[in-house]
Structure 1
Amino acid sequence: MNASSIYSGPVFAMARRQFETVADHLDIPTDERSRIFIPKRALAVSCPITRDDGSITVFQGYRVQHHLTLGPTKGGTRFASNVDVGEVAALAIWMSWKCALAGLPYGGAKGGIAVDPRSLSRRELEALSRRYMQEMIPFVGPHTDVMAPDMGTNEQVMAWFMDTYSMYQGQTVAEVVTGKPVESGGTVGRREATGRGVAYLVKRAAETVKLELSGATAIVQGFGNVGSVAALTLQSAGVKIIGVSDHSAAYFDRGGLNIEALEQHVRRTGALEGYSTEGLFDPEDLLVQSCDILIPAAVERVITEKNAGKIQCRILAEGANGPTTPEADAILKDRPEIFVIPDILCNAGGVIVSYFEWVQGLQQLFWDEAEVNDRLNRTLEKSFQAVSRRVEMRKLTTRDAALSIGVDTVLRAKRTRGLFP
């Protein structure tokens, strides 16, 4: 299978290797593989803005839409310095399998701007957000491509996206993005959804491996929105959080960390750095410390062939997208004592509740938080059971089982619809 030269880099190569492994399991003919894997559309746009000092800076933006076979594409938009089209394409592809596994009527998409949002003033951030959406308007819409927040973006950025799109349409189109503030058409429970989903699936995995959560220990790598919510939710179930980290600092204490105080510090300052001089730890060593539950919830490719053999946990819950490389997967396959909750299952809570928000926006009928959380848990439970059945029936790893369900769903839909001339 030959991919277009515009897609490159380690993250895209990783997504491709995962797909080829699953395609072999599913016996997908070679001539069908490119149609399933290669994205339908990739956009690159220039986003010039006037800076506060009067100068002009041009930022590079991207959006990749993987497929529209099951419905509109769906995916986040990240603002990060290292964003490139290969990474964005890989994330869009993973989102396709994630949505198909969860039974959502979406294809995957992803977007981003190569920028450190911390380097922008609020006015500059708003200008860049609006310019990016302005460039995307011909290619997005509530039935074409629905955006959501990701690393470096938040509810406020989504509100600017929605307002920009709506101004061009001459009416409010709240359902063009999800992850909005509740007062702008968002849904309660969306911000916490991914972290809550991680915690729910950790509880289900603990039941499977007969791990008592009360008194269990956990390490969370990536104390952002996903990691902090997962940590707080698991702590309420009796789990002791002994390690946390983000891009700025790491803390470790066998006696347990004060997660509420850490979360409040991050809310005030934007990072873990400066919380305390006690308990500071090497971020790389944090991943290999002994614990019952390890949650990588930051970026891709942090569990590699160099540290996969050193990990000391019972449950590996992938809150981030693509945290484990294929080389590390090969090592973990020979370590059956570690139960892996793969990323396209583990972090699906965000897109599931984004789907709920989209449906509520289309219907103009909103649910309370209890209903949102109940529907979230029921959807995750269905996916967890489907993966567990396939692991048992086909003797696959949990990752290959989850991916094969997603890929097979898209494959069958494309075969049913046929190929338009």
Structure 2
Amino acid sequence: MSRTLAPHGARPATGPVLSTTLNLPECRARGWVVVDSMVDGLAMGGTRMTPTVTERELAGLARAMTHKLALVGLPIGGAKAGIAPDPGAAVERRAVMREFGRAAAPLLHGGVYLGCDQGTTYADRRQAFEAAGYDVTRRPGTTRLTVGWAELWDHMADITGFGVAVAVLGALRASGARTPQRVAIQGFGTVGRAVADHLAAHGHLVVAVADVLGTVEDQRGLPVAELTALTSSDGTIDRSRLPARVTVHGPGQAWLHVDADVLVLAASPAAVDEEAVPAVRARLVVEGGNLSCTEPARRLLREAGHTVLPDVVVNVGGAAATGCVLTGLAPSDLPLPKLSGWLRDWVAGRVARNCELVQELSASGSADPVAQLLGSRATPPGATGSEVPADR
């Protein structure tokens, strides 16, 4: 394990407090953990596993996690991990996660919680934790659970998509829009499917969904439950079983050109850049994934009259629910249904309020409402690394 580490108490303006390379020779993979900031000895973020993930990408994602947690008022710093498997190595997935868990064990036990992100699942996380000998529920100060960590998250699998849907519904109410609104979703993994389910349940029409193979579209509304049943765990839709009325577009950005009122971005970073802005038809653009729009694209979208809800206030459900348990904020000893309800209410309240603030600042002419919102928060005592504004 090689690493760079800022001096204790240092607050680098641009760099993380810790960036470490993990040696994973048995599975022929590269791995990194980047900690942007620590608050009260804690940091957290997901583990991304893609062939192209880089340390630089993780640094940006870790900084975004710092901002997400600060904006919901949780005293935890931001982190991110990444695994880049060797495409030519025929290594069992379980072996990759177990080697990653053993390499990351000192960080896990030292207060850096590493959950799931793009390319990893709850089962992957369980393998890594077991290999590291890490049980989050035994950490002092953590909410006492009546079920295991894995069982809790099996029940809360949709929480990030739930938070994104809360943001969409709140923005539509604020705009006076009537049901149904037409929704296009780029990405149909765990987040995209949950967004589709929740919005359809509120009477809105999901008219287009994109996966790695292209876009499927029906302006009369896609059958969301049926579509979900035809989708694999990695978010790929089985085209051979789609209803005849569904239009199938090939690879490319057909999702960008769909006639829709709402565009939810729930897949790759920088899905909308400056060149893509003129093609966006939806008036409401929601960053349901990490860094879904480039910063210049956000600015240009706002200047063109679009409402943009950024990832740091929208894509926060899983991190916020985990943080509530890690810090002991969630009530202890609640049965699973009541704990789930408490966490969902808490996430919904924070997401809705932050979206309202972003929209108010945008309407007042703020060029960067998120930066303005972050600047209004006080840095908590005990924070190290980058500045970490948070409500205590």
TM-score interval, smaller chain = 0.7 to 0.9
Return the structure number with greater relative CO, CA threshold 8 A, min gap 6.
2
Alpha-carbon offset, residue 48 of structure 1 = 2.4
Render the CA deviation track for 1:70-91: whole Å, top value 9, x for unaligned.
Answer: 5511100011111110101100
Alpha-carbon offset, residue 119 of structure 1 = 8.2
Q: Which residue of 1 aligns with 2:64?
A: 94
Q: Which of 325, 341, 358 lines up with 1:370 in the alignment?
A: 341
Q: Does 1:248 align with 2:217?
A: no
Q: Which whole-Å CA distance do the structure 1 matches of 2:44 and 2:233 have between them?
A: 31
Q: 1:274 and 1:381, CA in 2 relative to 1: closer, same or farther beyond 3 A? A: closer
Q: Is the 8 A contact 2:47 2:82 kept in 1?
A: yes
Partner SS for 1:320: coil
Q: Which of 237, 247, 252 lines up with 2:202 in the alignment?
A: 237
Q: Which residue of 2 aligns with 1:125?
A: 93
Q: Which whole-Å CA distance do the structure 2 matches of 1:384 and 1:357 have between them?
A: 23
Q: Which amino acid aligns with 1:65?
A: V
Q: Is the 8 A contact 1:76 1:110 kept in 2?
A: yes
Q: Is the 8 A contact 2:34 2:59 kept in 1?
A: yes
Q: Is the 8 A contact 1:175 1:362 kept in 2?
A: no
Q: Which residue of 2 aligns with 1:12?
A: none
Two-structure CA RMSD over aligned residues (Å): 3.2
Q: Which of 247, 256, 265 lines up with 1:296 in the alignment?
A: 265
Q: Which residue of 2 aligns with 1:305?
A: 274
Q: Which of 96, 113, 127 lines up with 1:160 in the alignment?
A: 127
Q: Which residue of 2 aligns with 1:48?
A: 25
Render the CA deviation track for 1:283-318: whole Å, top value 9, x for unaligned.
Answer: 412112221110010010111122201211121111
Q: Does 1:76 align with 2:42?
A: no
Q: Which residue of 2 aligns with 1:35?
A: 12
Q: Which whole-Å CA distance do the structure 2 matches of 1:414 and 1:377 have between them?
A: 27
Q: Which residue of 1 aligns with 2:354?
A: 383
Q: Is the 8 A contact 2:52 2:84 kept in 1?
A: yes
Q: Which residue of 2 aligns with 1:202?
A: 168
Q: Which residue of 1 aligns with 2:28?
A: 58
Higher helix share: 1
Q: Which residue of 1 aligns with 2:300?
A: 331
Q: Which residue of 2 aligns with 1:11?
A: none
Q: Which whole-Å CA distance do the structure 1 matches of 2:24 and 2:58 have between them?
A: 17
Unaligned regions of 5+ residues in structure 1, if any? Answer: 1-5, 7-32, 50-56
Q: Which whole-Å CA distance do the structure 1 matches of 2:353 and 2:41 have between them?
A: 21
Partner SS for 1:38: coil
Q: Which residue of 2 aligns with 1:147?
A: 114
Q: Which residue of 2 aligns with 1:227?
A: 192
Q: Which amino acid aligns with 2:48?
A: R
Identity %: 23
Q: 1:361 and 1:126, CA in 2 relative to 1: closer, same or farther beyond 3 A? A: farther
Q: Which whole-Å CA distance do the structure 2 matches of 1:286 and 1:35 have between them?
A: 39
Moved more, 223-232 or 130-139: 130-139
Partner SS for 1:223: coil
Q: Which residue of 1 aligns with 2:152?
A: 187
Q: 1:90 and 1:77, CA in 2 relative to 1: closer, same or farther beyond 3 A? A: same
Q: Which whole-Å CA distance do the structure 2 matches of 1:361 and 1:79 have between them?
A: 30
Q: Which amino acid aligns with 2:281?
A: Q
Render the CA deviation track for 1:226-252: whole Å, top value 9, x for unaligned.
Answer: 001001100011111110011133201
Unaligned regions of 5+ residues in structure 2, if any? Answer: 5-9, 387-392
Q: 1:195 and 1:117, CA in 2 relative to 1: closer, same or farther beyond 3 A? A: farther
Q: Is the 8 A contact 1:101 1:402 kept in 2?
A: no
Q: 1:402 and 1:187, CA in 2 relative to 1: closer, same or farther beyond 3 A? A: farther
Partner SS for 1:309: helix
